[in-house]
Chains A and B, each alone.
Chain A
Amino acid sequence: MLLIPCPWCGLRDEVEFKYGGEAHNNRPLVPDVHDDTAWAAYLFMKKNPKGLHLERWVHAAGCRRWFNVARDTVSNRIDGSYKIGEKPPAIAAETEESA
């Protein structure tokens, strides 16, 4: 069972959360100019890394806010969380670039 750090509520049990997929994968702001390839890239082409993953979670049974988590998909180690609209923590950004 994971302990997930909600940016507002602190460490809470995994059962209070729902997973929301890869973070920083934003819906196109002007959908009309997107062709099928670009839509496919947005909808289906996920990074699916072995290792550090930036992903969305929602504190569904708590404060009900969406936020981002930096989690290692192999060890389940969580390096931190940050609010929607914020940049990932420095440690996560560095690891991702070198990966």
Chain B
Amino acid sequence: MPDRYRRQSPLAHLGLVARASEDQSAEAGVVMAECPFCAQTGLRGDGSLARFGNAVKTVLGIAPPTEPNTVTGPEDFADGARILWLGPDEWLIVGGDVDAEPSGALRLALSDRHAAVVDVSDGRAVIALSGPNARDVLAKGCPLDLHPRAFGPGRCAQTVLAKAHVILHQIDASPSYEIYVHRSFADYLWSWLEDAAGEFGVRISNSRSDRNGLLGGRVTP
């Protein structure tokens, strides 16, 4: 883990904090934000074993989802960890303080199981996309059926967006989404999204939901 004062989010170089503070159209059809420094932990194990799920639940308060492409936990990861289904024996835990080594307690609880817990926090950038036209933007580059009857709040999927591998998570029906993308693709994907959203009007936000005050960019010590 780098020194805290040196750490930069994958999109820090775009100056999104400054752009968000500029006068912007209030009529934007799409709102974009980076969600910097959210703790991400890779989890592997046998989801069909009750004791595996129970061990995770003991530590996090929620069990890994067993239904494919669903998420357990609160809508907002500021309210606690949530778990995204990635495969029948693979999940992504999102939330918690990135500096608190969130995987430690979990690793301990699973130490006598055939399981793996890996901190992957800095591996992916997280982009929040919301607004009335958010679905239209995604539909331009994603083969997934995004219609609410097929993909609604609480669902997640690994898929491709503008040819980049992403994890897509729909947060609510407004609709708002969170997009997890590998760090080296973050600049490309942000540019693609902003270009694709241009026709609807884009507003850059400082917070992932305009509800809480998560700042993008550089962390001050």
Chain B positions within 8 Å of A9 at CB level? 68-69, 157
Q: How many whole Å from A14's CB to the nearest CB in chain B?
A: 8
Alpha-carbon distance A65/B158, docked complex (angstroms): 12
Judged by a CB distance under 8 angstroms, whether A13 is at the interface is yes
Alpha-carbon distance A9/B158, docked complex (angstroms): 9
Chain A positions within 8 Å of B165 at CB level? 61
**Considering residues B86, B144, B145, B158, which has the most beta carbons from chain A within 10 angstroms of its beta carbon?**
B158
The answer, among A11, A16, A63, for a CB contact under 8 Å with B88, is: A63
Known: A9-B69, A16-B159. Is A63-B143 also a contact (CB below 8 A)?
no
Q: How many whole Å from A6's CB to the nearest CB in chain B?
A: 9
In the complex, how many residues of chain A place their beta carbon closer than 8 angstroms to a beta carbon of chain B? 13
The answer, among A11, A15, A63, for a CB contact under 8 Å with B68, is: A63
Judged by a CB distance under 8 angstroms, whether A49 is at the interface is no
Q: Is the CB of A12 within 8 A of B159?
A: yes
Q: How many whole Å from B87's CB to the nearest CB in chain A?
A: 4
Judged by a CB distance under 8 angstroms, whether B110 is at the interface is no
Alpha-carbon distance A12/B143, docked complex (angstroms): 8
Judged by a CB distance under 8 angstroms, whether A8 is at the interface is yes
Alpha-carbon distance A8/B90, docked complex (angstroms): 12
Alpha-carbon distance A8/B69, docked complex (angstroms): 8
Q: Is the CB of A63 within 8 A of B144?
A: no
Q: Is the CB of A62 within 8 A of B88?
A: no
Chain A positions within 8 Å of B143 at CB level? 12-13, 15-16
Judged by a CB distance under 8 angstroms, whether A34 is at the interface is no
Chain A positions within 8 Å of B86 at CB level? 63
Chain B positions within 8 Å of A62 at CB level? 157-159
Per-position 1/0 for B27-71, Cβ under 8 A of A: 000000000000000000000000000000000000000001100
Q: Is the CB of B158 within 8 A of A61?
A: yes
Q: Is the CB of A64 within 8 A of B160?
A: no
Alpha-carbon distance A10/B87, docked complex (angstroms): 13
Alpha-carbon distance A23/B166, docked complex (angstroms): 29
Q: Is the CB of A65 within 8 A of B160?
A: no
Chain B positions within 8 Å of A63 at CB level? 68, 86-88, 90, 158
Shortest Cβ distance from A64 into B: residue: B87
Alpha-carbon distance A9/B69, docked complex (angstroms): 7
A–B Cβ pairs within 8 angstroms, 29 of them: A8-B68, A8-B69, A8-B87, A8-B88, A9-B68, A9-B69, A10-B68, A11-B145, A12-B143, A12-B144, A13-B143, A13-B144, A15-B143, A15-B160, A16-B143, A61-B159, A61-B160, A61-B165, A62-B157, A62-B158, A62-B159, A63-B68, A63-B86, A63-B87, A63-B88, A63-B90, A64-B158, A65-B87, A65-B88
